[in-house]
Amino acid sequence: MSPESNPNANSGVDSNGKKYVRRNHRKSRAGCQNCKRRRVKCDEEKPACSNCIRFSIKCDYNPLPKNSLSPNDIVSSSPSPNDLNDTVIPRRRGRPRKNWESISAAANAKAAQDSNNDNLSTISEDPKDSRLSLASVHQHLNVEDLELLWHYIMNTSATLAGDTLGHHFYQTQAMQVAFRFSFALHFPLALAALHIARFDKSRAEHYSYVAQRHYTTGIEELTRVLPSVNSENCQGLYVASVLVSIYTFAMQPRPGDFLIFNDVGGLSLWLPLLRGVRSIITTAGSQAIFSGVLAPVTNNVPGSPAGTRLAMKRPRSIMPWRTQIAELGTYIESSTDPVLTPTRRALFGRALEGMQPSFASCYADSAAELASPAPNESATVMIWFYHMDPDFVACLQDKEPLALIILSYFTVLMKTMEDRWFMRGWVEHILSGIKKSVDARYSGWLRWPMEVAGVGEGRMDISYVTASS
């Protein structure tokens, strides 16, 4: 007789001869994945069911496909064969094993294919397949990460550059790339968290921790992907490296570490980043990196009126920089200093000459030069770092006096970027390290950069006169 035709199908007699009626239960597919795998009843509490809380495991409510949940899916019946197929990994009742996460990893990957929610805290396990995929992300939207993403796009990105072109790169182009690569997406969130921590003291401790968590996660993935640079991931690696460079400055100066050289032994903070960016550009090629969404935008930013000039946030200033560089260049060429071998003279001369385009973009030597437009000064300034000859970097690491003097002249360029929150304090910090490291006979060459920075005996008066003044 079928259960449908037997009215006593849900009743019986206990051991004492008393009749009882079995209470119907409602079967639901909306339980968490952990309870489904263990085949135990889930109370479906959100955000975590009582079973998962009891065993201290991560509760995972997998969003069901759109066509999988209907009124007919909730019925009063025994499990059907189709219901049993919902269990990806057969498991018995009982406590979860201690290595539950590793056992259920395969099931999580399959379940994630049915989800459209990105998890910003998980990363691709295969360095060669570094694109964001549904199988590499968690099922829940992290509200805090969404808040950080909003803060970066609406606030932080505008503080990273001094002109419309730079703002467009950080707000639009870089994010279009970051959304394709999990390791790159962590760094905008890290910068946003650090930005909040810097200016909101009441939340500084929490967001400093959040920033470091995203930074560490992104660096771990970036380190795994970096040896496998190719045309598919080179844009993600480039964007990640640029944002990591900014994050390095945003962490503020550390005692004994002066970006390229240090007093504490080992590699400086900046050097691995410098080598990484050079490796990405050399391996993939500029054409592969600066194409598609990263193609240069020359005169107009999409969405702005046609013909709109990419304006600077502040005008260039007047300062006789050509005279200062010429005097140092003459000394390098004609000095009888025994350390200046022909090879060293050529090396230092190229390093000094490489700064001149950056100086021309940031400073005007006279009022007449103010009439010419200045390019994106933030990109122009920092690119000198990336173009440094490895032999010159080695001289800085060895703290050779004239190499450090040339670096001190670069701080004059860095001074133009101190209106950005992540650059504050670096000029004075680097100059203090240089001053401690050079002999007294070279101290005269430090007078000009220290005056510009306002460090030491005086402060140079820089005239901010615009072409329209």
> Over the stretch 9-22, which tens digit does the pLDDT of each residue have?
455 666 666 666 66
| Gyration radius (Cα) of the chain, Å | 31
Distance of CA 33 to the CA centre of its chain: 32
Report the mean per-residue pLDDT for the chain. Answer: 75
pLDDT tops 90 at residue 83:
no
> Please, are residues 49 and 43 in contact by the beta-carbon 8 Å criterion?
yes
Instruction: Look at the chain and count its residues.
Output: 469
**Residue 373 corresponds to which tokens in the numbers above?**
């437009």
Q: Give the range with max mean pLDDT: 211-215, 312-316, 318-322, 379-383.
A: 211-215
- pTM for this structure? 0.64
Helices within 79-172 (DSSP H only): 81-84, 100-103, 105-112, 143-154, 164-168
Give dist(CA 348, CA 442) in Å, integer. 15
Does 463 or 417 have the greater pLDDT score?
417
> Please, are residues 362 and 413 in contact by the beta-carbon 8 Å criterion?
yes
Residue 143's closest CA among 131, 151, 132?
151
Give dist(CA 364, CA 317) in Å, integer. 6
> Please, are residues 349 and 355 in contact by the beta-carbon 8 Å criterion?
no
**Residue 304 corresponds to which tokens in the numbers above?**
């702005």
Give dist(CA 156, CA 179) in Å, integer. 17
Helices within 256-339 (DSSP H only): 271-284, 286-289, 321-334
Dihedral Cα 274, 275, 278, 282, nearest 10 deg: 180
CA dihedral for 275, 279, 285, 287, sign (positive or negative)? negative
> Please, are residues 259 and 414 in contact by the beta-carbon 8 Å criterion?
no
Residue type present at position 148: L
φ, ψ for residue 427, nearest 5 deg:
-60, -50
Could you tell me the pLDDT band of residue 469, with boundaries at 50, 70 and 90?
Answer: very low
Count other Cβ atoms within 10 Å, centred on residue 127. Answer: 17
Give dist(CA 138, CA 146) in Å, integer. 14
> Over the stretch 380-396, which tens digit does the pLDDT of each residue have?
677 788 788 989 999 99
> Please, are residues 428 and 446 in contact by the beta-carbon 8 Å criterion?
no
Give CA angle at 190 (289, 108), nearest 5°: 85
Q: Where are the domains of the chain?
A: 33-112, 143-294, 317-453
**Residue 266 corresponds to which tokens in the numbers above?**
């080992």
Give dist(CA 57, CA 98) in Å, integer. 10
**Residue 371 corresponds to which tokens in the numbers above?**
């009439």
pLDDT of residue 238: 92
Does 150 or 335 have the greater pLDDT score?
150
Beta bridge partners of 19: 13
φ, ψ for residue 12, nearest 5 deg:
-175, -170
Cα dist from 137 to 102, 117, 178, 187, 211, whole Å: 16, 7, 15, 17, 20
Does 227 or 319 have the greater pLDDT score?
227
Lowest mean pLDDT among 126-130, 172-176, 177-181: 126-130
Does 348 or 5 have the greater pLDDT score?
348
Q: What is the mean pLDDT of residues 250-269?
A: 82
Give, to the nearest 10 degrees, the angle between helix 390-397 and helix 271-284: 170
Beta bridge partners of 257: 254, 262
pLDDT of residue 244: 92
**Residue 168 corresponds to which tokens in the numbers above?**
């467009």
